[in-house]
Structure 1
């Protein structure tokens, strides 16, 4: 479908633009809302009932999206014009089939397939595009891992080639911990379609100063890059983010150059002129000032939730516009902050087993310049991100403090599962 043939604003008419969301978590929910505000019809799919996006979409489906037959059936039933993968555990072969049938996959089936596999992505970034990265190798067995770790040196980081949110990742500080790292990677890998054993990537543990997310938007108007987002992680998963990150003037052009080059390379590899949407490009800045490419997500990024309070158009609004063929220019990605202000987000991670209840919002949100998004996930089992606080301040430090205090003032109760 072309941008000229899209019909918006009549979601229950005979010819609306139909969108299938594959993944309906907190990010998918915000994208769904942004798309519906522009008049698209949205079906939200996920692996469980009551997923956040399913609560707001026009329709919802429950299926194992890594099951090719199940995914093929839901695409055939929904008959979408556009498919938007919002998670990585998807049968990508079916996405290629959908493209061949004339359905647009966001940003493309090829890009989704590359970005879900650290091995293919790193080879593209380092070997084909020449982007600076950490020293790395790959291994397909415990013995290969031992040999590669010896060459890389200790400490090093071991990750499954297919995983997300830090699952299966470990820092190895000595040779006697290699087997533990191998077992952790096999446990934390995304099991679908990978065979009996997951290959792993071994990376040098660099002298990191800070990490950045560069939200890079590809649209019918070209590629633009948002202001840098700083982030803090625990065990490979996001906990705080802030915008604009304090990037040294000498590095600002470099971080934008690497982000732009990474997205341009993916689009060129996909061979399509409609690879539109938001890309979350993750970068490392070392203490010596070196900027390194780490990874890229072909979708809005969890650290980008700060844009719900920092930018005039959030990453979700930008994604929706780009997907629908609406041009996104430099004028659309500006910060919605007075000069010298900063914005921050703080993830609310809940531990326990059962349904989660929030209260004391009157205290948590009493401070001006704070906001809250409760994701309304049905339950937590172990630990799970269940909400995010947002804040603006006179500078980044104040914004981060306010976002953290907002979260701390919430009263959170986990009602045990019966």
Structure 2
């Protein structure tokens, strides 16, 4: 099939408006009309003043969102996929090749109108890509060699293991590749295990849990019957992970590597449903995950954005689950939460542009996948209910994919949610999900603490409780533990030196007597430290006050009054508020409430007289 410039009829794509308009689903106000167009080859020039056309194998939602960014950057995009694919609907200036991205002739047709080829799905014909490179010198990024490794899950695991990248133990299915081969694999790696298709597997498709030998026949049948039926399998040891993580990694043409923050993914029916960014985990574990993801991508050839899925194990270890050589569901949050989206980054990578910043421009974000609840108009309306709800939620942005048909489990769009704190983002996500009765609202997520409250002894707890109460009232996530400067000096050093990397932003340290804890912690961490002198039987806390306040020049400790951890908590909130306006707003409301309480007392004293006024302790 050759290149066709589609003269598109007025195509109907259902919008969020259909949720509000009910039975008027097909009314002109409830649909988007794609105007007829007969585009010519674009003469647009990109930011370097050069004309460039990027050919994308695959026209699904990933290609569509890449094309959206390309339009903004004056980069022409050509798409190879079926007619009326999501990406083709928004590509008006480049050719759309109607065909199969696994077909060699279609790939050649696409290449002849482009300057470079890339993929939005890894299940392409790599031999055809090699032929395009050999025949017309067309660059392909990532390289066919890398795509070939990744599209075969067992080849991918072999490659990673050979390069000392941590993966779960796995074995090939030998013998006939069917039931007997799977049972032999189970005897080798033990039950339970995961039986997986080597090829054409994604979004949970191609996986089966095998708990015992009795489960093997059904598992093999569910995955297409094994190698004898053209569906080779492999077995992977069952890994009792704590949570699923992901890191997007960018690799430039010259091999420079830059990774995005580690995020947590929540699956629903083996499909990504939620993403929390950044992952609310120990910062040391997050750093380890980023390093392992970067290590994995450094072993592959070719430029582009890569999605690296990982498991966090109970001991804090990280193993890689699988890699995608393209934009990934776990990176959609970058559209609204990062300085450079994964889609723009992919274009930067393959076109030799400077890599963009991978930093988040907001403190916290989430992504909600919009998955089809069924087929037909009614199911579509139900599917889009969260999108309609999101329109009334601050910080929420709806991204729909322009798909013409809704099916159960089909990705129809996503919602990005941003906020000044993770508790705020979680509340906003819950508000959106509550609009859909079938959605499970109970997602176990432990919010990473921003403040650490430490004390030298459990006898200090009564004094330090008010700080914890204040932080709770302001919605500040915190941790509270015992760290003795004298009895557990090594624990103190470990806590203080790792605090910043773990993700803490401030430490409140309470101590009595010699009260060395706040000062020693301040000497070991770059974080702000607030000292709370704790009164003991001897000297009534004066010794603690002098010890904490009289720190040498260069080792600051913000010291509050004796036994006044309330002020320590309030000061911590103000410190956080310098970068999170939500806490400043709450502090202003707190101060207003304090003033109101005093004025109420003024009025009451004026009413009853000073001699009758009752003071409440």
Q: What TM-score results when the alignment is normalised by the length of structure 2?
A: 0.59
Report the 3-state secondary structure (helix = DSSP H, G, I; strand = E; otherwise coil) of the residue aligned with 1:353. Answer: coil
Could you say what secondary structure the match of 1:313 adopts?
coil
1:220-369 equivalences under 5 Å are 220=253, 222-267=256-301, 275-328=302-355, 332-337=357-362, 341-354=363-376, 356-357=380-381, 358=384, 363-369=389-395
CA deviation after TM superposition for structure 1 residue 119, in Å: 1.5
- What's 1:17 paired with? 52
- Alignment match of 1:210 (pick from 235, 239, 243): 243
Matched position secondary structure for 1:326: coil
Task: Spell out the pairing of 1:18-417 with structure 2 (5 A cutoff).
Answer: 18-46=53-81, 48-57=82-91, 58=93, 59-76=95-112, 79-100=113-134, 101-126=136-161, 128-139=162-173, 140-162=177-199, 163-186=201-224, 196-220=229-253, 222-267=256-301, 275-328=302-355, 332-337=357-362, 341-354=363-376, 356-357=380-381, 358=384, 363-409=389-435
Q: Cα RMSD over matched residues?
A: 2.5
> Any runs of at least 4 consecutive aligned residues in structure 1 with deviations exceeding 6 A, and if so which?
none
Alignment partner of 1:166: what SS? coil
Provide closer, same or farther for how the CA distance between residues 195 and 84 of structure 1 changes in structure 2, counting only shifts above 3 A. farther
What SS does structure 2 have at the residue aligned with 1:328?
A: coil
> Take 1:387 and 1:235, find their aligned partners in 2: how far apart are those partners?
17
Q: Deviations over 1:98-137 (max 9, x none)?
A: 22221111211111111111111111001x2011111111
Does the C-alpha gap of structure 1 residues 301 and 404 become closer, same or farther in structure 2, counting only changes over 3 Å?
A: farther
Q: What residue is the counterpart of 1:415 in the other structure?
A: none
**8 A Cα contact 1:9 1:38, kept in partner:** no
Runs of at least 5 residues in structure 1 that lack an aligned partner in the other structure: 1-6, 268-274, 413-418
Displacement of 1:263: 0.8
Stretches of structure 2 that go unaligned for 5 or more consecutive residues are: 1-41, 439-617
- Higher share in strand: 1
- Partner of 1:270 in structure 2? none
Over 3 Å counting, the alpha-carbon distance change for 1:359 and 1:249 in structure 2 is closer
In 2, Cα distance between equivalents of 1:56 and 1:260: 33
Helix, strand or coil: the match of 2:407? strand
Cα deviation digits, residues 362-410 of structure 1 (max 9, x gap): 6431121111111110102343111111112343343244235325537
The 1:246/1:360 distance shift into structure 2, 3 A limit, reads closer
Q: State the Cα deviation string for residues 187-241 of structure 1 (Å, max 9, x = none).
A: 7x9xxxx883211121111121111111111115611111111101133321111
Shift in alpha-carbon separation, 1:25–1:408, aligned structure 2, 3 A: farther
Matches of 1:401 and 1:207 in 2, distance apart?
29
Which string of whole-angstrom CA distances, capped at 9 and with x for unpartnered residues, describes residues 339-358 of structure 1? xx310001111132235354
In structure 1, what is the Cα distance between the partners aligned to 2:122 and 2:332?
19
| Partners of 1:326 and 1:15 in 2: CA distance | 13
Matched residue of 2:316: which SS? coil
Deviations 1:291-323 (A, max 9, x none): 112211111111111111221111111111112
CA distance in 1, matches of 2:390, 2:275: 19
Superposed displacement of residue 90, structure 1: 1.3
Who is 1:4 aligned against? Answer: none
Aligned CA distance change for structure 1 residues 238 and 361 (closer, same or farther; 3 Å): closer
The alignment covers a number of residue pairs equal to 383
Q: Following the alignment from structure 1 to structure 2, what is the Cα–Cα distance between the partners of residues 314 and 119?
A: 30
Whether contact under 8 Å (2:279, 2:286) holds in the other structure is no
CA distance in 1: counterparts of 2:121 and 2:386, whole angstroms: 32
Higher relative contact order, chain-length normalized (CA < 8 Å, sep 6+) = 1
Q: Is 2:253–2:350's contact at 8 Å kept on the other side of the alignment?
A: no
Bigger radius of gyration, 1 or 2?
2
Shift of 1:254: 2.0
After superposition, the C-alpha distances for 1:147-186 in whole angstroms (9 at most, x for unaligned) are 1012211111111001111112111112111111111111
Shift of residue 141, structure 1, vs aligned partner? 2.5
SS class of match (1:303): helix
What is the rounded CA distance, in whole Å, between the counterparts of 2:376 and 2:228 in structure 1?
33
In the superposition, the TM-score normalised over structure 1's length comes to 0.85
- How has the CA–CA distance of structure 1 residues 105 and 399 changed in structure 2, closer, same or farther, with 3 Å as cutoff? same
Tell me whether 388-397 or 111-120 shows the greater mean CA deviation.
388-397
